[in-house]
Each structure stands twice: as C-alpha cells, then as structure tokens.
A and B are shown apart, each in its own frame.
Chain A
C-alpha cells in the first residue's frame, strides 16, 4: 500500500474504535435507561387502574 495512505489510515483506524465506543455507549445507555423507565410506567399504570377500580367497586358496594 501507498506509504502515505498507510499513515493516514493508521491515524483514522487508531481513533475509530474509541469514537465508535463513545457514541455506542452513550446511545445504548440512554435507550436502555429510558426503555426501563417507560416499562415501569406502563406497569404502574396497569396497577393504578386495577387498584382504583377495586376502590371504586368497594365504594359502589358501600353506597348500594
């Protein structure tokens, strides 16, 4: 290979893994964290609905 190209490719390739890892880690961490929080919210919403329905049923029974 052309020595000039070897020098240039060497410069790029030495840094590339760190740049890729930098962006990868950042994106993966954000996506995983936000997904976990959103999943927790969906589960909580289901739980809240179930408990509030039970409260409403009990209140309804007490009234009737």
Chain B
C-alpha cells in the first residue's frame, strides 16, 4: 500500500506538471513560424515583419498546430523509454526465468500501449492540422505504426498461449524484438529524409524548452505512476488468489 501512496503522489505531481506545461505552451512559449504570410497592412504584433514590399507586409506564418508538440513529443519519448524498460525486464526474465520479471515486463508493455495510443492520436491530429492529411506513409509515421502493431501483437500473442512458462518466454522475446523498433523509429528522421520535424535539430527557444521539459518529466512521472498502480493491482490479485487457495484448501 505504501507503493500505491507513492504512485498517487507521482500521479498528482505529474498531473500538475503536465497541466503547468499546458498553460506555459499557450501563455509563455514562443509561437513558432511555418513559412510566411503576406498581409495587406502592417500589424501591431509580436510576429516579426520579415519583408515590406509592393505586395504588402510579409510575416512569419504563426504555426499554432505546433502547440500539440508539448504533449505529443513527451508522450512519444516516454513510450520509447517505457518500451525499453519492458525489454529490460524481459531480458531479466529470460535470464532468471522468474515470474516476477514477466509480470513487470507485461505491465511496462501495458503502459507502453497506453502511451503509444496517445502518441498516435495526438500525432494524427497534428498531421491533419500541419500537413492537411490524416496520415502519410513517411519514415517516422511508418516505423511508429509498425511499433504500435507490435505492442498490440504482444498482447494477442500472450492471450493465445495457455502454458504460463511458454507464454512468459515468448512474450519476453517478442517484447525485446518490439523494443528494437524504438531506436529505429527515433533515429529514422535523422537518417532518411522525412517530412516529420526533427526535434532539437533546428534549435529551440528557452521559452519553448521549459514547457517541453516540464511536460516531459510530468509525462514520465505519470507513466511511472501508471506502472506502479498496475503493479499494486497485480500484487493484490496474487494475494486474492493465494487467499482463495487457502480458503479452498
């Protein structure tokens, strides 16, 4: 129960941090520009005038859909991290054959699934707002889609195996294979030309970095809290099974 209390504290702190990041994203973060827009009159605005010509006044086009970045990127990075943690427990399970590591790996994969789905949903909305389409088969989206399918397939695989030991071994191997996709998906935009923005490559204003880091740490805390809460649930389930066995015996 002490772990559950720690998880609830993490949940509150993580929730507060991500909420603070949300407000910072709109109140203090610099609005980034995306191309230019030419307006007939000069504006009394924070957006810097880039050119004043015969056609009018040219400004950096405010890129409002970029605001999704402050949640989409932290949740995506957290999904990679939790997946790697799941693979770490899977390796330990294969080395020791202890059930405890199988449970930890499975719960980490479940947390990964939550974060992967959130990354996909926020990503699709950003793609529609920025690119005008709901989906594009470009390298980052394609590799992340494969990763999503693999995380879903992990649970399908587990549910299809009756024998507990075989299920744990097959699940562990599959979790490791799925985790190999995380660095591929992360680095693909740096290796293959892609429409997807590459974070940090083109520099970052401090006003944008602070909400991003706040959301990042908040999201990691929420992920850890989800993991601990689910582990507490699993332990309670084990306790219930043991008590039922004792009652029947």
The residues of A with any CB-CB pair to B shorter than 8 Å are 2-4, 7-8, 11-12, 14-16, 18-19, 21-23, 25-26, 29-30, 33-34, 37-38, 40-41, 44-45, 47-48, 51-52, 54-55, 58
Contact = CB atoms under 8 A, between A and B. Distances in A.
Contact of B229 (A18, A34, A55, A58): A34
Contacts of B239: 48, 52
Contact of B233 (A23, A26, A40, A55): A40
A11 B243 CA distance: 61
Contacts, number: 103
Given A34-B225, A37-B226, 18 more contacts: A3-B40, A4-B43, A7-B39, A12-B62, A18-B125, A19-B65, A19-B67, A25-B118, A25-B125, A26-B118, A29-B121, A30-B114, A40-B233, A44-B236, A45-B236, A48-B239, A51-B247, A58-B247
Interface residues of B, number: 42
Greatest chain B CB density within 10 A among A2, A23, A25 is at A23
Contacts of A18: 65, 68, 125-126, 128-129
